[in-house]
Structure 1
Amino acid sequence: MATILLLVLVFARLLWWDLGDKIRICLSWNLARRHIDRHVSERARKLFSLARFTLGLKMDLDFDDSRLPDQMILLANHQSVMDIVIIMAAFRHHSVKFVAKGELRRWCPTVSRVLRIQRHALIPRKGDYSLAMKEIDRMAGSLRGRECPVIFPEGTRSRDGNLLPFQSGAVRRIHNRAPLPLVALALEGGGRFSRVQDVLTMPRGHRYRITVAKVFPPAQGKREILAQVEESRHAIDQILRNWRSQD
């Protein structure tokens, strides 16, 4: 019953926000963009508040993003679509932009519109490689202020939570256009949101964790980028193992 209530409340909230965004777009695209930039992190935190109210979901966040670089490339492991929400919730002082699957461009109230208006890099799961690289180049070349690209280097969600191999292509591509510090994030708990049936059986008090695994200075060349990506995977893996040993 609590899960059904959560799904109803979340869907209603998303529809309400989506309606407001549609109205703002009709008035002014720039108005809609500024409003979303200011409030997207707050919206994400409100969704977690609904989950805490209905299911007792706990979000463990042990860092202050205002202490991180103004601009950076964020690299994180990937367990579910909810990873996007928790990263948005965690980064209150930055505007995060995702390299995400193109299927999210449509049919998801509020989420799809936010990804389009903020001009995230939405890449078809199957398609022209050159078009995907152009989309990443576009996003990297348009970064401004405290905007930070987010990459899931596994390339897909890990259904069981175990780390998949990290790919460095997107990191290298963005770094070529925007040589920024690299910040590795470890996420745990998203596997419970990968399928509806998982949510239905999620125990009350489930924990969703996010922390900074490691911060790297801007890489000097391809070899250093590859080393940073591999070291990020190792740091994230160590944190995941430590968390799981404590549960």
Structure 2
Amino acid sequence: MLKRLISLWVWLSVSVIVLVWVPWLGLVYLVTVARDPGRYTVGRWFRRSAVLATKLNPLWRFRTTGVRIHDPRRPYVAVANHESFADIFLLSHLPWEMKFLSKEAIFKIPLMGWMMRMAGDIAVRRGDVTSRARALDECRDRLRKRVSVIIMPEGTRSVDGQVQKFHDGAFRLAVETGCPILPIAVAGTRAAIAKGSWVFGRATAVAHVLEPVETTGLTLQDVPELREKVRQLISDARATLLAELQTAQA
């Protein structure tokens, strides 16, 4: 019962945040878009709304660790494992802007979808080859404008908690553009909210940024090896994070 009451409070808080943020984000967009075609500033303000929503949730304790990015305008193709819908809230705590590649259905949520489009996030329709190609073109556009993109190459959240097979798209994109891969290991969000549920769970979660993996000199023939290398890095780091979280909670 307590979790249900807290969840009602959090969803009400999120609704208020969205109602306040939409006009503010619209104003920031109008003021900055002409000189900031990559929508870096708008995106940063949008991520702040997710950070605020997290702070208002007493069941969640989110933090980031690992490598610090000294030049936020050097574009990376960031890749992360996918545990939960809450991953978006956790990754928004990172102190630089990245455009999220997200399923099209989220963009259809009233007000939320508007903010995502203003922020320059990228929609993709699962199973649609044309949509995937268009989404990758939009990713290239953001990278040319010196803004990183983040892709979850599992394609969907993990069912059993293990890091699933990675798809090639993010790695082909990095090789074709010459941008480094930025691996990010996510751990602990699986308990934050169950798929298909509106009730929040108690969760302590970490997003750990690993050393960038350069792609200079690589060709498309190197994509499978690159993909598996990065997947293993993320999987190993996630296992370490989970062990540390379990020890801390013991």
**Which residue in the other structure is 1:10 paired with?**
10
**Which residue in the other structure is 1:243 paired with?**
241
Q: 1:189 to 1:25 in 2, by over 3 A?
A: closer
Tell me the SS of whatever aligns to 2:185: strand
**Which residue in the other structure is 1:184 paired with?**
183
What does 1:141-220 align with in structure 2 at a 5 Å threshold?
Answer: 141-143=141-143, 146-173=146-173, 175-176=175-176, 178-192=177-191, 193-195=193-195, 197=197, 199=199, 202-203=201-202, 206-219=203-216, 220=218
- Structure 1 residue 195: Cα displacement: 2.8
Cα distance in 2 between the residues matched to 1:117 and 1:198: 26
Amino acid at match of 1:226: P
**Which residue in the other structure is 1:40 paired with?**
46
Q: 1:87 to 1:50 in 2, by over 3 A?
A: same
Q: 1:99 to 1:243 in 2, by over 3 A?
A: same
Q: Does 1:63 align with 2:66?
A: yes
Is 235-244 or 136-145 further displaced after alignment? 136-145
Cα distance in 2 between the residues matched to 1:86 and 1:72: 18
Structure 1 residue runs without a partner (length 5+): none
Count of residues in correspondence between the two structures:
236
- Structure 1 residue 104: Cα displacement: 0.6
* Identical columns (%): 20
Q: 1:36 to 1:16 in 2, by over 3 A?
A: farther
Q: 1:44 to 1:163 in 2, by over 3 A?
A: same
TM-score (norm 1): 0.81
Amino acid at match of 1:124: R
- Structure 1 residue 146: Cα displacement: 4.9
Q: 2:99 aligns with which of 97, 100, 114?
A: 97
Q: Structure 1, residues 122-173: CA drift from partner, whole Å, max 9, x if none?
A: 111233x023212221232243555211011111110221011111124313
Cα distance in 2 between the residues matched to 1:245 and 1:21: 37
Structure 2 residue runs without a partner (length 5+): 34-38
* Equivalent pair of 2:101/2:121 in contact (CA under 8 Å): yes
Cα distance in 1 between the residues matched to 2:210 and 2:195: 27
The structure where helix makes up a greater share of residues is 1
